[in-house]
Structure 1
Amino acid sequence: MSDRFRITLAQLNPTVGDLAGNAAKARAAWEEGKAAGADLVALPEMFITGYQAQDLIVKPAFVAAAQAELAALAEACADGPALSIGGPSVGEDLKLHNSYFVLQGGKIASVVHKYFLPNFNVFDEVRLFSRDRMQGPVAVNGVRIGMPICEDAWYPDVVEALEESGAEFILVPNGSPYFRDKFETRLNHMVARVVESGLPLIYLNMVGGQDDQVFDGGSFVLNRGGVPAVQLPIFDEVISHVDLERGDDGWHALNGDFTTHPDAMEQDYRVMVTALRDYMAKTGFKKVLLGLSGGIDSAIVATIAVDALGAENVRCVMLPSEYTSQGSLDDAKAVAENLGCRYDFLPIGKTREAVTETLAPLFEGTQPDLTEENIQSRIRGLLLMALSNKFGEMLLTTGNKSEVAVGYATIYGDMAGGYNPIKDMYKTRVFDCCRWRNANHRGWMMGPEGAVIPEAIITKPPSAELREDQKDSDSLPDYPVLDGILEILVDEDGSIADCVAAGYDRADAKKIEHLLYISEYKRFQSAPGARLSKRAFWLDRRYPIVNRWRDPS
């Protein structure tokens, strides 16, 4: 029996539904592991199908195709190290399972089924999969490896059972998506499993964007006592070889690659860039466009787009009305010039006049109100979508989480588009994000260095500029107040009483609660966007559109 074991960790980015492409990535990782003398090459949870596949995973033809791809992969990787990879399986009970396969000797040598099925936040696994009994470790080249799948390692039960049944170390394959500060949560849980079991633990996570979610990688290895031996980068595809040695007291991992992770703001920004980049690449779009208003939200979205796709793939369009200030005209042009992307100028005055004239017979005897303001926004949406159709450029929307929460956006107007990079970032954090990007540049950014967002955009009072001297504060509490209340009501699922206890005015809290609930129909029709928190709008927070309940506190 060998006293040394090499495992190749493949922290890679699959694409949902691209079975052949995902298998090719697995095969390439296996080849690297084989060249490096690995005993086992490991890939993350559900890698063959991509994750999360949602209801696609219950389609029998899709599951059959995934199983055929796994069988072919086993044959292709017969002459070399074992290959472990996640995918769906139909068990002896004829039920669908989230499984982890060990391929060796040209066949599927072992299959482990996930026991704890997460059913919270973005996960619906209880609805999609069936759980199986707890299983023992898997033997690879004479070494017994416990393979709890993702959620199985968040609780003591499965790892404890593996240790009691002879596991010599633990390999945890994951599809764990990002939310702010999640790495520390993962690390704390895994340290607990190591301390409880006395076994080294290898945590392998995937990377890459899938719809609203970004898998952030950050795979790591812990020795007894929770002592770190390896820590891989976040967000990057990495193949890393980890060596374990057996001593008198069992196995321990040798120190290897160790990357320090950046702060929360950089991680949030990286998530927004990665989410857009992968959404484009995986859906087949090459270019984007957006309405550039001279405000802070469109400025940061333009910057994210350039950092994700390159300036040559981003079109910015200024669509001024008579209410657009000279400052906004100057600021919008400055952003486009600073970023180096295309800038088009498309006034909406004549179109608005035509719409006004068309509606005049029916509007006769009424006073101008929000209707006329929203017409401007909807004209802009119409023109931007025309450009999108004509040139094949996906339209980005630019509403921050504060606006998305309270419906401070025009449906079929500035809400039109295919993706919203800042959908889960509150307005106050958008300001901080702009300052951070102006002061920082990283190798994964395709945009230029320096202060690309003019200071005037960051410091001027926010305004939709749909009427004379309009400011956002005319309709909403100041953003620090608005965001503070929303964090309690949305992120913390708190009450009006909680808002008052935190020092906010009850009338403000009730107004925000009302706007939050009546805007649900808008969010139901809104574009997807990068998930930054564990209470993002879409899968994390699912409320009925028809809802008469209001907090009486």
Structure 2
Amino acid sequence: MKHGFTKVAAAIPGVRVADCNYNITQIQALMLKASEAGAQLVAFPELSVTAYTCMDLFSGKLLLDQAEKALVELVHSTRDLPVLAVVGMPLRTENRLINAAVVFQQGKILGVVPKTYLPNYKEFQEQRWFSSASDLKLDTIRIGNASCPMGGNLLFETGNLTVGIELCEDLWVPVPPSSVLAMLGANVIVNLSASNELIGKNNYLRNLICQQSARCISGYVYASAGFGESTTDLVFAGNALIAENGSLLAASKRFEQDEQLIISEIDIDNLEHDRQVNTGFSKGLEGMLFAEAVRIPFDATSVEGTLTRTIDPHPFVPEGAALTERCEEIFDIQVSGLAKRVLHTHTQKVVVGISGGLDSTLALLVCVKTFDVLGLSRKNILGITMPGFGTTDRTYQNALDLMDSLGITSREVSIKAACLQHFEDIGHDASVHDITYENSQARERTQLLMDIANKENGLVIGTGDLSELALGWATYNGDHMSMYGVNGSIPKTLVRSLVEWVANYRVDEQSKRTLLDIADTPISPELIPADENGNIKQKTEDLVGPYELHDFFLYHFLRFGATPSKIFYLAENAFGTKYSRAVLKKWLHTFFRRFFMQQFKRSCLPDGPKVGSVSLSPRGDWRMPSDASSAHWLHEIELIPEN
């Protein structure tokens, strides 16, 4: 698909135990359905040609003959379908019986992967019938009139997609075959399974699949036996799951009597990016089950169509209980970082500029919690409000109310007279509200904070956030600078959520009311005088664009190294009709233009704690020349059509 996506499917056919002709009819129908949906790969459950629960019937010649005959018929009857199919069945080789995954496409069997780890405990007794892949001597197998490769080390490749296969119990051992296959290059793992249902087992299974996809930095397509299997002692609920690098993309319903087919898209580009960044990924092959792979090419038809997976418009801000958990953890990281810095510097005081906006509010809350943890008086937190030409009554009053309710020491120092004197000194007309007018105020405020910190033997705590750093929306050597920046790796969309979380869970009722009003206040640097009604006139998002868009762009660019065209494609899917193509293109261009232009500010950032997977610290996650060219990125954006 476009932009590195591969559409995959996991199928659960209805089966009849030992009725191979019926079973391949069901498999064929689901293959057709998957192919019509544009899937390039479809997986079926373990032993799905015969059904898993045949037991000692596996020892009889008739069932095995019928299974092989049915497989040959299935391969032939689906020769016009481009989808790569993986089905499970018993096969004979070397006077043994193997539990195998058969891979075929367009009328040709490409390879056979035998199961390596055969469970033989409690309700499982596979060693009664089957032999392990590790017991085999041959590397080919004959099916019908043709021979094909056989082994646990087969990889099926097309373009940037490489598929590796394991079967059921293989996943449950300490070092699954998929771990080795991933290090050999497989970026999508297929697992054919027949796992019965037990209380609590499904949650464990989901966590196991997600964890393995994360450890392998891969996609994981899992198809397990469902309705139609024997219920003599066990019940099979039909689990189809698709995961990618730790996240579950799609899941079937359990205990359904009808066939099921789930489809999603795996982002191969993102997986390749993470493997490339993780330089230790491919190490550790020495002494593994197999250290070399047999690579088998197959054809993948390019397909168009929309994504079926959900693209989160707010990737930094989870929903529900996950948001509460994330806010608590981030807040604790911020507090822990500041506490260490306070103890290390042997200071008893911190200085924070309080504007009544989101960022300074969060920084103040972190300071308050830190001083509580360290057993220091909140009065040693010096909150400095510095009204200027653009300060509105709403933000000014919120700043005063918050400092009062939190019990810190508050001071007010107007910057108007100092700035007017400065304008006179440098020959600037105070009626001209240009960048000099704005930045002079920001630098005056920073000078005040720094000098007060010197006088009080304290630390200036920075308030700027990750989104502002990405856009360069900070005055160089003004609010850009501090002695420790607690918000430096928190994006604007998450800052708001953190303030609201603290309001709801960590403060008294008076502070809560103020915090919620701050969260509801338009974002503004307040460097331009208010309008005739005293309301904020200079709204940041009117000038640089919506922060929800910039945070989305930032996440996909930094986290996955995505191209502008891919980010645009994802944004269209994430935001739907909320923004037109022209608007998305405009702000995407703004993002990349500013991101490259403003690197010089990020090259000299103060220290601050990293809280998530995306950071712009020049000492850690992002090291970029301050004079790097944005030409290629901006040119790609220019080529994006607006309608």
8 A contact 1:299–1:453 mirrored in 2: no
CA shift digits 1:298-354 (9 cap, x unpaired): 011101111012423311000111321111110000110121101100001111111
- From 529, 542, 547, the equivalent of 1:479 is 547
Quote how far apart the aligned CAs of 1:282 are. Answer: 2.4
Alpha-carbon distance, 1:397 to partner: 1.1
Matches within 5 A, 1:117-516: 188=211, 263-310=325-372, 311-360=378-427, 363=428, 367-441=432-506, 451=512, 453-468=514-529, 469-502=537-570, 503=572, 505-516=584-595
TM-score by length of 1: 0.51
Q: 1:299 to 1:191 in 2, by over 3 A?
A: closer
> Is the 1:339–1:452 Cα contact (8 Å) retained in structure 2?
no
Distance 1:261 1:334, change over 3 A: closer
Q: Distance in 1 between matches of 2:415 and 2:430?
A: 25
* d(CA) in 2 for partners of 1:348, 1:189: 57
Post-superposition CA distance 1:185-236 (Å, at most 9, x none): 9x9479989xxxxxxxxxxxxxxxxxxxxxxxxxxxxxxxxxxxxxxxxxxx
Residues 121-147 of structure 1: per-residue CA shift (max 9 Å, x gap): xxxxxxxxxxxxxxxxxxxxxxxxxxx
Q: CA deviation at 1:510?
A: 1.5
In structure 2, do the counterparts of structure 1 residues 432 and 365 end up closer, same or farther at CA, with 3 Å as the change threshold? closer
Change (3 A) 1:478 1:364: closer
Q: Distance in 2 between matches of 1:523 and 1:510?
A: 20
Distance 1:349 1:192, change over 3 A: closer
Sort the Cα spacing of 1:281 and 1:512 in 2 relative to 1 into closer, same or farther, 3 A.
same
Classify 1:352/1:432 alpha carbon distance in 2 versus 1 (closer, same or farther; 3 Å). Answer: same
Secondary structure of 2:462's aligned partner: coil
Structure 2 counterpart of 1:330, one-letter code: Q
- Supply the distance in 1 between the matched residues of 2:469 and 2:213 (Cα, whole angstroms): 36
SS of the residue corresponding to residue 516 of structure 1 reads: helix
Give SS of 1:454's match.
helix
Query: What is the distance in 2 between the residues matched to 1:327 and 1:261?
Result: 28
2:544 and 2:590 in contact (8 A); partners too? no
User: Are residues 543 and 333 of structure 1, via their aligned partners in 2, closer, same or farther at CA, if it must alter by over 3 Å?
Assistant: same
- Aligned with residue 544 of structure 1, among 625, 631, 641: 625
Q: 1:188 to 1:282 in 2, by over 3 A?
A: farther
Question: Counterparts of 1:192 and 1:477 in 2: how far apart (Å)?
Answer: 37
Q: Distance in 2 between matches of 1:430 and 1:394?
A: 22
- Count of paired positions: 302
Amino acid in structure 2 at the alignment position of 1:359: I
Partner of residue 185, structure 2 = none
| Residues 485-527 of structure 1: per-residue CA shift (max 9 Å, x gap) | 2222223321110221022612211110111111111011221
Residues 189 and 320 (structure 1), Cα distance of their counterparts in 2 relative to 1, 3 Å cut: same
Q: Deviations over 1:16-69 (max 9, x none)?
A: xxxxxxxxxxxxxxxxxxxxxxxxxxxxxxxxxxxxxxxxxxxxxxxxxxxxxx
Change (3 A) 1:427 1:377: same
Give 3-state SS (helix, strand or coil) of 1:396's partner: strand
CA contact (8 A) 2:358 2:519 kept: yes
Looking at structure 2, the residues matched to 384 and 370 of structure 1 have their Cα atoms a distance apart, in angstroms, of 21
In 2, distance between residues paired with 1:313 and 1:498?
A: 49
Shift of 1:453: 4.4
The code of the aligned residue for 1:481 comes to: L
Question: What percent identity do the matched residue pairs reach?
Answer: 22
The answer to whether the Cα contact below 8 Å between 2:423 and 2:429 also exists between their aligned partners in 1 is no
User: How far does the alpha carbon of each residue in 1:265-317 deviate from its partner, in whole angstroms, 9 at most, with x for none?
Assistant: 21111111111111221233332111100111101110111101242331100
**Structure 2: distance between partners of 1:546 and 1:485:** 21
**Structure 2 letter corresponding to 1:439:** N
Q: Which runs of structure 2 are paired with 1:521-540 in the superposition (5 Å)? A: 521-538=600-617, 539-540=620-621
Show structure 2 runs of 5+ residues with no match: 1-177, 181-206, 217-321, 373-377, 530-536, 573-580, 637-643
Alignment partner of 1:475: what SS?
helix
SS state at 2:544 partner:
coil
Pair 347,191 (structure 1): closer, same or farther in 2 beyond 3 Å: closer
The 2-side partners of 1:543 and 1:501 are apart by 25
Asked whether the 8 Å contact 2:351–2:458 carries over to 1, the reply is: yes
Q: Which secondary structure does the structure 2 equivalent of 1:484 belong to?
A: helix
Contact 2:390 2:528 in 1 (8 A): yes
**Counterparts of 1:389 and 1:346, CA distance in 2:** 16
Unaligned runs of 5+ in 1: 1-154, 158-183, 194-259, 442-446
Q: Assess if the C-alpha contact under 8 Å between 2:349 and 2:457 holds in 1.
A: yes
Distance 1:452 1:546, change over 3 A: same
CA distance in 1, matches of 2:327, 2:498: 7
| SS class of match (1:480) | helix
Distance in 1 separating the partners of 2:418 and 2:436: 16
Determine the C-alpha separation between the residues in 2 that align with 1:261 and 1:496: 28
- Tell whether the 8 Å contact from 2:500 to 2:515 is kept in structure 1 after alignment: no
Range 401-410 or range 467-476, more displaced:
467-476
CA–CA distance in structure 2, aligned partners of residues 287 and 390 of structure 1: 11
| Paired residue secondary structure (2:512) | coil
Distance change in 2, residues 1:492/1:190 (3 Å): closer
Distance 1:275 1:406 in 2: 25
SS at match of 2:485: coil
Give the Å deviation of 1:409: 0.6
- Structure 1's 272 and 448: CA in aligned 2 closer, same or farther, altered over 3 A? farther
Cα distance in structure 2, aligned partners of 1:411 and 1:506: 28
